Structure 1
């Protein structure tokens, strides 16, 4: 089981899984997974359901552990993205969603979990490219979390 989810969340996810695992084989097929996720308040498309099964399941279905892994990752990713963007907003003096590359370098190498200078340089090179040294931080955060 994923350690990213607390016991209460795991119990809720297991309840949904058990409710919609129609043949009680411990595996949710695409239609069942779609129903599980809708019961949990999400509204996935059929292609999103297929992607989840491809990434977290096997043989066209997902187990409860696969569901825990997916939802644990989703909860953490959603929280991390929101939290990181809120941190950037502190440095966004004019509220335009932008931060200077030099300021970002300082943040990444000196605050919180410090990153190595070479890693920061590569991140900035990808984010700024041939630009004016200003980075739109929301796409930057999303791109970094994908890696």
Structure 2
């Protein structure tokens, strides 16, 4: 962590989206110096309502971790990067309809459920695998204790929580973006030779005799 005696880096808050992100970050700022342990970043990002994979969390860390203080992340680095991610709707959680479609693809027989063995294999061997603890936590909610299967429509209903209005951070980001759109990008820089060439080209045609 940063030395508490070092000069504090100012972090201006310009809109409601930045305030939401800063407030969530500060919950984990135990020293009160706008700095958190890098191991807290995944928890902070997910607490905001984003759903990055572990690989994507590592990409975030590479962008925001302080080179002069490895293992630490300052709000001045975290805030603009996460604002950009949310404004671009990256790491947005799947909707209930998307989850249902995914389960229906796995349920090729159309039975309305998956077996415990099937879901366990999928979660631990395909894509980004669950740890045993993560699998156990999932199955505790997903498994019907009477049939020992996963009736996925019921599971999705148990699992999904859709915040209303601007409690959903991507809705808040859309409103902030509409109110304060970014300035248009600057035109690409021209080389000196290109500039001189533009001066040498006449901007009118000579009249024909």
Using the size of structure 2 for normalisation, the TM-score is: 0.32
Larger radius of gyration: 2
Q: Which has the higher helix share?
A: 1
